[in-house]
Amino acid sequence: MARLAARILGATFVLLGLTFLVMTWRTYRRDTRIVREGLHAQGTVLRKELIAASDDREYLLHYAFTPLEGTQQKGQHAVSPELWKRLRVGDPVQVLYGREEPSRSYPEGHGVMTLGLALFLSVVLVLLSLIGGVALLGKAVPDADSQRVPRIATPTRHPSS
């Protein structure tokens, strides 16, 4: 039973690790393509939102822009505290968006996955997958009860008197 549980857990770790690894590099490639080949538009700040937790704050900027195709797009993205404090509702904001996917947009200078972050996540996810691989392919340690070998009584000979 322990072996089956270890294999299921190991397979889960491998599957999750590899899935998120692929997603990390797809996101990195998409973001760098937007930076290289993306288009710029002037957007407008619609709303600012501060999400405060006990140990952290996230500054969200809601914006709208009209790409070259002409259909208005709305987006929201986390931005630096400095940009969030500087902008007011109705202010213009430069937006960078994907040529093929205008709904994928960022306030310029924000939102792009860096190579450092992609590499860090890759190391963590590869380690997760390796741990899962060991659990999946390794041998589970048998329980102490299953290691006991039953004793078979053997007749003993008593010296004849």
Gap between the Cα atoms of 72 and 105, Å rounded:
12
pLDDT in tens, the chain (161 residues): 678 888 898 899 999 999 999 999 999 998 888 888 899 999 999 999 998 877 788 899 999 999 988 889 999 998 989 999 999 999 999 999 998 889 899 998 777 788 899 999 999 999 999 999 988 887 655 555 555 666 666 666 766 65
SS (H, E, C) 68-120: CCCCCEEEEEEECHHHHHHCCCCCEEEEEECCCCCCCEEECCCCCCCHHHHHH
Gap between the Cα atoms of 12 and 17, Å rounded:
8
Coil vs helix vs strand at 133 = helix
Gap between the Cα atoms of 135 and 133, Å rounded:
5
Give, for 131, the enclosing helix (H) or strand (E). Answer: helix 115-137
Gap between the Cα atoms of 9 and 104, Å rounded:
35
The whole model's pTM is what?
0.68
Confirm if 110 and 83 have CB atoms less than 8 A apart: yes
Query: What is the amino acid identity at position 11?
Result: A
